[in-house]
Every structure is written in structure tokens, then in C-alpha cells.
Structure 1
Amino acid sequence: MRSTTEQTVQPCPQCGTEIRTDRRFTTWCSACDWNVDPVEPDERPGRVERMRRGIAHRYGERLLAEMTGGESRRPRRDVAGVLACTVALCVHGVTVALLLAGVLLVTLGWGGALPVLGAFLLGLAWLLRPRFGRLPDDAPVLHRADAPRLFALIDEVAACAPTSGVHAVAVTAEVNASVSTYGIGQRRLLTLGLGLWEITAPQERVALLGHELGHFAHGDTRHGVIIANALHSLNSWRYLVAPIRNPSGLEVILNALYLLPFLAVQGVMMLLDQLTLRAAQRAEYLADASSATAASTEAAVALQDRLLVYGSAETFLLRESNARQVRDRAKRDEPEQGLWDRLAAYVESIPESEYERRRRVGALRGHSVDSTHPPTHLRRACLLAGPAEPAAVRVDAEAVAAITAELADARRVVALRVLRG
């Protein structure tokens, strides 16, 4: 429960309306939006990111209209998707060509510089090679035998998507969750951030699982092996041929040589973004639909609201870590045992006015922060546009207790890592 000393009352300097707010958070006016978004961006985005945000802004409202039309709430392979795969395969073709050229120069070169050049091309091909992912070695990883009740819930939610479950769950401190694949066999991994899991209600956790598993069900193009690895290769190319800043002497000549390759890489990246960003945003809407199907529309919307305060949750965890660093060791009494409870209590104490402020900030900023995800206010609008869906999966107190017990060791390990910095 918040103390009354945390409440402040003052007139709005712009319109004079009385403002009642929590002093821990931004003071703003709901009547005229004074000070609703006082934070300036930390840095100006690069050219590619500016282009991404421009595309996202252009298509944002139009895509929302399509998604609320009913028939568009299903995945589809359009011309842009086919072209994106074609471009990605061409990028991989360059890597294969470098590999073959390197092998030929090393094996057939007649001395001199040709084998050296071949070795260089082989090293370049290795740098640009496709990545198949692997299990994290810096986070607890749970398999089905370690957490049968958690995996049973995941399977139940996956069936609503519909898709199959996951092979492993990695537990981190992030205020986030994600899905990915690992190994050549593309086994499925769910990364579960306790910073988000612990601040959500049971039904919101079902919504979270429904959203993440929905990415598997709807074939999220940008997370597929072909396109994701092509983007990785292009980023590697851009790093290798990026102009040297503040060049001098020979570096000026190198910059001139790098110019055309850099522009070519930049152009291909922009093309691939142009072809896939719309599909990436559609995938988010479809994943939200899976979330509502599994947990109910009400729970899916509640999850969207909870995501609005992820920054506050991250700040709380950072404060806890800093406090641990300066606290006298003799006074430490295993504070990791209560870290997640303290985080949940803090987030629960955030006033509704702060949630509303962040909703308005999202509407004002639109796609200017994240080009791959539709703004939260559009995602909420899409969820609320159709008839309210009931929950297909419900978790009772017994299931919550069982899953909490299965996560106990991971909760303790991750809490210790947070507090140790």
C-alpha cells in the first residue's frame, strides 16, 4: 500500500487544473497533457532505423484497419514475403560463393598470394555463416523433466495457437519474454524473463505464453532462419565496410574504396526491411490474437498495460542491484529470497495515472521508438475491436503454486545474479 506522503497536489502550470500524482513518477496534467512526455530520445537513430520507422508509421494505421477487418487475422504469404526470401537467399548465395572461391584458391593456388587470398575469403565466409542458435550458458535452462507443470501449461496454450510447445525454457531477469530456435534441428526455446513473469497475474501469464507461442504458429518471417541470418550477414557486411570516422592519410583512400560496397549493403538492408517490416508488425497482431484466444481478451489487454511499465520494473531491479553493492555485508540476510516479491509489490503500487500517461506517450510517439512492434495503443485497439474472447486456458491456485515451486531454484539463481550486478 502506498504511503500518503508519496502523493503530491499542485495546479497545472499550463491550464490551472489541479494535479494529483505520485511523486515517484512524472508529474503531468491529464486535462491538457502538460509534461506528458518530458523525456527526450538519448540519441538520433541511424539512417536504416529512420527508414524503418518511416515505413512503420506509413503502414501502421492502415495495417490496424486491415487487422480489425476479420479476414486478415490469419497469416499469409504475399509477394513481399516471397521477394524477401529471394533477397535473403541471394545474400546467402554471396556467402556460399566466398566459401567456394576460398576453397578453390587454397587448394588450386600455385603459391604466391592466391592461397592467402583464399584463406581470407574462407575467414570472411565463416564470419558471415548462418547461425542456428544455441542454449544460453548464462541462464538457468529448464527441460520438460525439470518443470512438468510449466511445460504442461505451455503445451495447453500452444494448442490454442495452434502450434506445438517448446523443448526448453531459459529463465532470465529481463522484463521481457521471447521465443527462438537452437541447433541445426531448430528446436524451440522460450526465454522467460522473471522481471515480467513475476509482475503479471496468472491469467496474464497465460496471455504472455499465448503471444510468444503465437509467433511460432503464424510464421514470423523476420525470425525465420533464412531472413534472420541474412540480416545478420548484412549487419556483418556493414560493420566490415563502414567508413572510418575522422579518417586521416591512407584511411581516406580506404573510405573511398569502401563507399560503393557500403552503399550496396545499406541498400540491400533497406530493401529487406521494406519487404519484411509490414509482415513483422502483422505477426505481432496475430500473436496478440493468439494471446486473447488462450487467456481471454481481458487478460491480453491487461498484459499490454503491464508492458507499459517495463521501464519502471527495470529501474527497480537496477536500484536493488546498486543497493546490494553498497550495503554492509554483515547486514545481508539473503535479500534474493524476497527480490521478486518486492518487485511485484512495487509494480502493483504504480498508480493508474502513470499507466494512462504512458498510454498517451505511446500514442504521441507512435513508431518512433520501436519499428518492429506496433505501438501499444494500436495493439490494444486491435484486441478490443472484435467481440471479447473468453479464456480457453485457465490456471488455478494449485497450478500456480506448482509452477512457482518448479521455478524456485531458477528464481533464486537469477535473483542472486541481479543483486550481484
Structure 2
Amino acid sequence: MEIRSDRRFTTWCTACDWNVDPQGPAEEKRGLSRVRRRIAHHYGELLFTELRAGKSGGRTGSGLLAYVIALTVHGLTCVLAAVGVWGLIAGWGGLGMVFGLFFLAMAWSLRPRLNRLSDDDRVLLRDQAPELYALIDEIAAAQGTRGVDAVVVDVDANASVTHLGLRRRLLTLGLPLWEVLSPQQRVALLGHELGHFTNGDTRYGMVVGTAFRTLDTWLRYLRPIPNPNAIHTLTNLACIPLRLLVTAVVALLDLLTAPSSQRGEYLADVASARTGSTEGATGLMDRLLVGDSIVTTLNREVNSRRIHGRSGTAGQDGEGLWEALAAHMDSIPESEYERQRRVGALRGHCVDATHPPTHLRRRLLLDGPPVPALVTADAARSERIAGELAGLRGTLAREVVRDGYGGL
């Protein structure tokens, strides 16, 4: 029996798993979050079995039905707009105009909206970060796709890709995650995100993706009014059937798009290993498993700086924030990573409700032969990229210390 102990982390036994998960699984959320997580687990396990057996885990006809439902959702928005126009014309000069304007306003808020940059986004353009874009382009070329048109840097411990408008591509890099990765893990991260562009995922396509956003808007409108009076209570009761209907449509779309979404994540992991190596890809997953430590460390560092900051700078001193975060993450012992892997297998840890269980993603990569990296990031290249990010690193560090850190 071997007891692993580090006063910063849980003491546990590697032989019998004593105290491996002292807190136990968190109470499962209700509603759509619970449904989405269960769907993700179901298809994550199903596709893991298929892919491990050498099957393609290919697409099914569920994607076509998802498109039909999404088009129906957008069709309803068009009907609301048509009713609004009819109300304006038929009721011109009277109360009918109010009726028409109401439905037009509803249709406008429910319209399919393409992604676009906001004024608050911290955007790095190609001429501002040529080395970072060159790395992204090299990884994209290795996967047979093209790079991105814009990079946004934020303070979420995450990364993602999406479309901007009809054809442009956007990569969002969370600086807390980027800073705690090794150079090769960063290549694996970029490889995973760019891998989404080479694999079909109807959930994030233009038609179905915008339908999800429209349905979320419906749910916001139909949310029960808090602290209701008598009239509000009647309104809440009247909205129940429609809210249940919209919730059911969202759950059905989740169910229909889950196979392609889970498949896309597994294939993005394969792309991650191919470009950044199996070691880099699995190391990235390990960092995601201890993501809570990123949040805890940042909050601790922020609170310390806000309390003990130099005179006149309390709450504004962000110097060394990212270095302190990286140093803590590098100090996490292997025993804690192993504990988190076992806890992840027990709880079915996922990055979020759209990802397969992390331990299955990791096993799928490790069950195959080790894959060397197609793209490497040596020390000199990493230094040049760090120089391009230096300005944003300082700005975001000061903002995090000033405003506090909200977590993942």
C-alpha cells in the first residue's frame, strides 16, 4: 500500500483508491444541463467503443433530421415576421400597428445571428502576431485545412474556434490555459481546435447552430418571473406548456447532434496528437483535468495582490501573475494528476456537456501507437510568440487583479 501525500492536495492510496475522491460527485444539475451531460456520456462511451474497435464512428441520418428541425425553428421566426408585417398593414393607424410592431420585434430578436466580434474582444490580427499566425498556419496545413482570420485572447481557462460571418474563422485563446502549457502542449491545443474545421459537426454549423441560439432566446423569454404577483403567477402558468415544448425541442436537437459532436471531439483529439504528438495531446488533457487549480491559484494570487499591493497600486499590480500561475501548475505532483485521472473515470469528467468523458479521450490516444509531432515549437519560436503576446499579457493581468477572476 502506498499513501501519496502533499499538504496542498488530497492524501490518498494508490493501491486501494482510499480517499481518491473524498468529496464525491457534485450534485447533478437539473434541467437541460443534466440532459446534455447524460447525452454526452452516452454517445461518448458508444463512440469510444466503435473507434477503439477500428470503426469509423461515422455520421448518421440524425443530422438530416436536426437540419429539418432547425429550419422549422427559423421558419417560425419568418412566420412571426410575416404576421408582424400583416399587422402593420392591416392595422395602419390603429391598435393593429402595436400588434404588428410587437411581432416584428419578436422576430428580430429571434433571427438567425452569425457570430461577430464585439467591441470588448481583445483581437490579435495577423500583422500584430506574425509568429503565432505562422504556427497556426503550419498546423492547419498539416491537417489539410486553412488557418484563422482573427485570434481573440481572453481570461477563460479554455480555447475554442468558431466562424465569423459566413466564411471567416476565429480562434479564441484563454490566456490562463495557454500560460500553463508546454510549447508542445500548445501545439496540441491548436491542433485540436483547428481539427474541428476538418470534421463535420452539425451542432456548430450555420443552420443548426443559429437554431440553438434562437431556442435559447425563446427560453429566456419564457423564464418564470421571480417573486410574482397574481398577474405574474398567471403569466408563469400560461408559459409552462410553451416552455416545456421549447425545452423538448432543445433536448431533441441535442440528442440528434450529439453523435456528430462527440465524433468531432474524438477526431479533433486525433488531429491534436498528429500535430503535437501523443505526449503533447495527453499532457494537454491532464492540464484540463486539474483546471480547478487554475481557478484556485488565480483567485489566490489576485486576492494577495489586491490586499498586499504596493502603496497606490493595490488591486492593480498584475506583474508576475501568469508566471506564478505557471509555476504552481508545474509544481503539481504526478500523484495528483493520477488521482484526478481516477476521479475523472469515476465521475465521468468532461470539459463541458458537449465533450466526451476526458478519461475515454485519453485512453483512445494511449491505446494506439505513440504518434510523433508533425509540428514543433522550439524555445526560440516560443519566445517570439511570447513577445507578441506580451502586451496583452500585461493588460489582462492588470484587469484580472483589478476586477477579480470569475473562473472557467
What displacement does 1:330 show? 1.9
Residue 47 (structure 1) aligned with residue 31 (structure 2): yes
- Give SS of 1:216's match: helix
Q: Which residue of 1 aligns with 2:406?
A: none
Q: Distance in 2 between matches of 1:294 and 1:369?
A: 21
Residue 404 (structure 1) aligned with residue 386 (structure 2): yes
Shift in alpha-carbon separation, 1:233–1:40, aligned structure 2, 3 A = farther
Gaps of 5+ in 2: 404-408
Q: Which residue of 2 aligns with 1:62?
A: 46
Q: Is 113-122 or 214-223 further displaced after alignment?
A: 214-223
Shift in alpha-carbon separation, 1:282–1:252, aligned structure 2, 3 A = same
Q: Which residue of 2 aligns with 1:209?
A: 190
Over aligned residue pairs, what C-alpha RMSD do you find? 2.2
2:242 aligned residue (254, 261, 264): 261
What displacement does 1:348 show? 0.4
Q: Distance in 1 between matches of 2:218 and 2:298?
A: 36
Gaps of 5+ in 1: 1-16
Contact 1:218 1:287 (8 Å CA) reproduced: yes
Q: Distance in 2 between matches of 1:228 and 1:344?
A: 35
Q: Distance in 2 between matches of 1:253 and 1:416?
A: 48
Contact 2:275 2:373 (8 Å CA) reproduced: yes
Query: Which letter maps to 1:366?
Result: G
Correspondence list, 1:343-358, <5 A: 343-358=325-340
Q: Distance in 2 between matches of 1:401 and 1:47?
A: 46
Q: Distance in 1 between matches of 2:350 and 2:125?
A: 38
Q: Which residue of 2 aligns with 1:108?
A: 90
Q: Distance in 1 between matches of 2:278 and 2:132?
A: 22
Contact 1:171 1:193 (8 Å CA) reproduced: yes
Query: Which letter maps to 2:291?
Result: Y
1:90 aligned residue (59, 72, 88): 72
What displacement does 1:41 show? 6.1
Shift in alpha-carbon separation, 1:252–1:313, aligned structure 2, 3 A = closer
Q: Distance in 2 between matches of 1:89 and 1:62?
A: 28
Q: Which residue of 2 aligns with 1:11?
A: none
Q: Which residue of 2 aligns with 1:3?
A: none
Residue 314 (structure 1) aligned with residue 298 (structure 2): no
Residue 233 (structure 1) aligned with residue 214 (structure 2): yes
Query: Which letter maps to 2:342?
Result: R
Residue 218 (structure 1) aligned with residue 199 (structure 2): yes
Contact 2:131 2:384 (8 Å CA) reproduced: yes
Q: Which residue of 2 aligns with 1:22?
A: 6
Q: Distance in 1 between matches of 2:350 and 2:242?
A: 29
Residue 31 (structure 1) aligned with residue 15 (structure 2): yes
Q: Distance in 2 between matches of 1:393 and 1:58?
A: 34
Correspondence list, 1:7-406, <5 A: 17=1, 19-39=3-23, 44-72=28-56, 76-182=58-164, 184-244=165-225, 247-330=228-311, 335-366=317-348, 370-406=352-388
What displacement does 1:96 show? 1.3
Shift in alpha-carbon separation, 1:289–1:18, aligned structure 2, 3 A = closer
Shift in alpha-carbon separation, 1:27–1:318, aligned structure 2, 3 A = same
User: Alignment identity in percent?
Assistant: 53
- Give SS of 1:190's match: strand
User: For residues 21-62 of structure 1, what are the alpha-carbon distances to aligned partners after superposition, in whole Å with 9 as ceiling and x for unaligned?
Assistant: 111112222233233223366664122222223323333322
Shift in alpha-carbon separation, 1:219–1:234, aligned structure 2, 3 A = same
Contact 1:53 1:367 (8 Å CA) reproduced: no
- Give SS of 2:271's match: helix
Q: Distance in 2 between matches of 1:30 and 1:398?
A: 39
Contact 2:136 2:147 (8 Å CA) reproduced: yes
Shift in alpha-carbon separation, 1:229–1:107, aligned structure 2, 3 A = same
Contact 1:297 1:389 (8 Å CA) reproduced: yes
What displacement does 1:161 show? 2.2
Q: Distance in 2 between matches of 1:310 and 1:141?
A: 24
What displacement does 1:331 show? 8.0
Q: Distance in 2 between matches of 1:244 and 1:413?
A: 39
Q: Distance in 2 between matches of 1:116 and 1:151?
A: 51
Shift in alpha-carbon separation, 1:51–1:282, aligned structure 2, 3 A = same
- Give SS of 1:329's match: coil
- Give SS of 2:295's match: helix
Contact 1:56 1:367 (8 Å CA) reproduced: no
- Give SS of 2:322's match: helix
Q: Distance in 1 between matches of 2:15 and 2:284?
A: 26
Query: Which letter maps to 1:175?
Result: A
What displacement does 1:106 show? 1.2
Query: Which letter maps to 2:396?
Result: V
Contact 1:203 1:299 (8 Å CA) reproduced: yes
Using structure 1 for the length normalisation, give the TM-score.
0.89
What displacement does 1:369 show? 7.7
What displacement does 1:312 show? 0.3
Contact 1:160 1:290 (8 Å CA) reproduced: no
What displacement does 1:77 show? 4.1
Query: Which letter maps to 1:86?
Result: V
Q: Distance in 2 between matches of 1:360 and 1:42?
A: 16
